[in-house]
Amino acid sequence: MPLIEPVPLVPVPDLGRVHFIAVGGAGMSGIAALYADLGVPVSGSDQNDSATLRGLAAAGVTTYVGHDAVQLGSADTVVVSSAVRETNPELAEARRRGLRVWHRSAALAALMLGRVGVAVTGTHGKTTTSAMIATLLTSAGADPGYVVGSPLLATGHSHRLGAGETFVIEADESDGSFLQYPANVVVITNIEADHLDNWGTAEAYAAGFATLATGDTVTTVVISADDPGAVALTEAVRAAGKRVITFGESAQADVRLTGIGHDGRGATAILAGPDDAGPLTLAVPGRYNLHNAAAAYAVGISLGVPGSRLRAAAAEFAGTSRRFQPVAEVGGVRIFDDYAHHPTEVAAALTAARELVGSGRLVACFQPHLFTRTRDFAAEFGRALALADLVVVCGIYPAREDPLPGVTGALVAQAVPPGVQVSYVESISEAAATLAGLVRAGDLVVTIGAGDVTTVGPQLAVLLAGSPR
């Protein structure tokens, strides 16, 4: 898939009627809802019915299940995601008519026009960090607008128009679309090779972040002081004349974390900024979430919010959907769900889970995402999964990709080091039953992956409810 090229932006009111293809997706639905909030005539289609589609209909969006050229109606602008292929009948019709066709990133960027844009990017942590920023600014009374990649558990929504001057977005680096955004503040959580099917090389991938951080509209860059990829970029950003605020555990960090720990439920640390220092207490676990919170704090102080208010607000963050989200506790077995789909993310999720597991076993159910990523990182996934005591690996969730010869989830299962009990199931439909036969009271189960592995936890809970541990 080629990288997305930025296009000139048009203010939202000037787009006419807007039709979204694949409107039920996490990246599209929030944008469509905000367009409707602004009074734009909005329609959209998706392959399957869903609660998201029904929610959009209730918000005034004309929705369709399935794709048909006639559903474009009198649209002036058509919005697509990277997953929509040129063979889609609605996209083909839009091309035939010569309509304005925008990638979702352009539609999102148009919402930022006239506001102070905060773009959060990085290989890992984008969703949680952008959601934390939205939460902290909201608590501080800034009333930001935002579109993030997953609903906030506290509100059930991934988007808000807001009336304040700030607009926060999650900026996806996978397809290069993060270069579309007219950001004033850029957050870079980390840089580690990924999405090489699009970028080609790790060097090209890293160079994309440099282009973003030194863009003409950017005034401030909030960047990790600990991540090697981010550190390698920092001096070039300073040399470009940007204000840089670093965060992390490094002694040189502008926003520094020390005294890291956990309280059996969430994560704790001492956070020190330029004019503030004190305890940071999160309701979500994991060292990585403390780093995400430090980045959010850095954004807040860059926008003039007092540090003490930001630290207090951080305690209110309840997490986002599919980011170490509690699913159920049945028969003494606790079940969580996590979106991790890169080896570093899998390791971080399992490390956080280990803090909570107590005397039981840590059980991971992992579904690889994309054939190319599995091909490139099977060995790394195996090593990350070794942090669990027992592992179930499922077949690959293909998403936008076609199969590759010889690339299956079994590559990951085979890469898990000796000493860890591993089971492999090709079909996700077998995962819950397999887990039910393995777990016992006291175990903590994490379902992990960016695909439909999220359905396994609820299915497991049902099976365990009917089978006393």
* Phi-psi region at 86: left, alpha or beta (left = phi > 0; alpha = psi -120 to 50): alpha
Given the residues 52, 77, 90, 126, select the one marked as catalytic: 126
Cβ-contact 97, 91 below 8 angstroms: no
> Which secondary structure element, helix H or strand E, spans residue 384, and what is its range?
helix 371-385
Q: What is the dihedral of CA 465, 466, 468, 469, to 10 degrees?
A: -60
Task: Name 319's bridge partners.
Answer: none
Given the residues 90, 93, 170, 173, select the one marked as catalytic: 170
Strand residue runs (E) in 39-154: 42-46, 62-65, 77-80, 100-103, 116-121, 145-147
d(CA 52, CA 84): 18
Q: Are strands 77-80 and 444-448 parallel, antiparallel or unpaired?
A: unpaired
Does residue 127 have an active-site annotation?
yes
Given the residues 127, 128, 135, 246, select the one marked as catalytic: 127
Across the chain, which distance is largest between two alpha carbons, in Å?
A: 63
Looking at beta carbons, which pairs linking 53-56 to residues 24 or more positions away fall under 8 Å? 53/23, 53/24, 55/29, 56/23, 56/24, 56/29, 56/32
Taken in order 5, 7, 13, 16, is the CA torsion positive or negative?
negative
**Helix/strand/coil for 101:** strand
What's the token pair of residue 199? Answer: 């970028």
Nearest to 213 by CA among 256, 184, 193: 184
Does residue 170 have an active-site annotation?
yes
What stretches of 408-455 show up as alpha helix (H) in DSSP? Answer: 410-415, 431-436
Cβ-contact 295, 129 below 8 angstroms: yes
Residue type, 36: A
Active-site amino acid positions:
126-127, 170
